[in-house]
Structure 1
Amino acid sequence: MEDTRPLILLSNDDGYASEGLRALAQELARYGRVVVCAPEVNQSATSHSLSLHRILRLRTVSEDVFAIDGTPADCVYVAMHSNGRVLPRKPDLVVSGMNHGLNLGVDVFYSGTVAAAREGAMRGVPAVAVSADAKADRRAAAAIGARIAMETLEAFRRSPGARAPLFNVNVPPGDAWPVRPTKIGARLYTESVIFREDPRGQEYLWIGGGGVRHDHVHGSDTEAFDEGAVGVTPLTLDLSSPEHRDLCVAACAAVSLGEREG
């Protein structure tokens, strides 16, 4: 008998065995068939990188659970182009997470969690990235993340001709929250490079500082988090900037004039 339930591809950047992914898989299974294709090991902050210059290995962990020794974007790419090895057909929904920790503000540019969802949206599939604060109740956070994901799918189905959406969800501490639409906020880290010396006298370094703060941006994901609400931020695949078009026109005109004069 054919399974008519929604087919949900689930990935993440913490690895296929992470507790957050398992919790989200359990909640999503209430609504459809869940196929997991996720990294073998933690791939946090890998952004949207693809492994183009080395081989990848796909491993069947159990029924409908696959692991790849690559990035989150690798996992979604392979799942959707493996000619039935992972997915029986194009998925109805791509979900990434549940990430252990937040992806607010500029985190969306670095996040492997967001990148896995973005890879799905790029292929025309509605996609949702779910992240939760370490102090959020895991089961409750997974439940609300799954509900948001399924409502996203239903809203997409009611909008024929619409481009596949990409939503970034962040769950603050606690076990019950209001939900609100948001935009990207200002999440500012203490930036630093730490140089040290290993036991053999060779220099090494760590990048990134440990401190973080949120500057107030009305209606933002950071504001929602600070106020104890789940923020749902629609992200765009079109990165062109109308704000800087005049600067671009001026720069191009200057270069063209220089070429003619030369």
Structure 2
Amino acid sequence: MASQFTREHDRPHLVVLTGAGISAESGIQTFRAGDGLWADHPIEEVATPEAWRRDPQRVLRFYDQRRDQVRRARPNAAHKALAALEQQGFRVSIVTQNIDDLHERAGSRHVLHLHGEILKARSSVDPRMRYPLPRGGIALGDLCDKGSQLRPDVVWFGEAVPHFPEACEIVAEADLLLVVGTSLAVMPAASLLDHAALDAPCVLVDPEAEVLAAPGVTRLSRLAGEGVPALVRHWTRAGRLWVPETLLE
């Protein structure tokens, strides 16, 4: 259907916060899962600055495995629905805690990665120096243009989240906030909801939504691949962002 919105500021602004749950439906395991890559790799041994200083080879090997997993994964129905909504003329901004590129591969154009991107490397001395990894991984001896070892372009536990202020600004502009596949239990992402406008409704799509949702958040207890496309169909037909009560019953 043709969009009724002709100017950027006329379009309803959907801000989507996504977490590991949406990628898990594409086969990417979360670090809380009891199987898969994280099972034999304690966080403190592969995902902290101390681990990098102690054993960079082990860290690089682990992220090479994660990178292979991401490359094999494919966007699922939730990723595709969000991209389709944007193509229908809605303004869609995605703030994701995920380090994969599934939103981009689905076709979403406005994606902010809070925790970095697995398919990029960056300098270990200058975080502004980032390099795409279209294939392969990172080896010891791979250097940035300043002569320093390359590392994964991810935010490890104990490191600052450089894009957090930008994420707060995006959330503050939301007409409706959609939270998918994350409990927002990890700081500072957990505080993002505090930056939304008081009159901006918030919907949580998660199988455990009844337990996870904070007061005032509308709960849709479904998998991302079911719940997100259902919401997008309602919004596309109506030409506006709203919370369809019949869907939430």
TM-score by length of 1: 0.33
Which protein has the larger Cα radius of gyration, Structure 1 or Structure 2?
1
Higher strand fraction (1 or 2): 1
Higher helix fraction (1 or 2): 2
TM-score by length of 2: 0.34
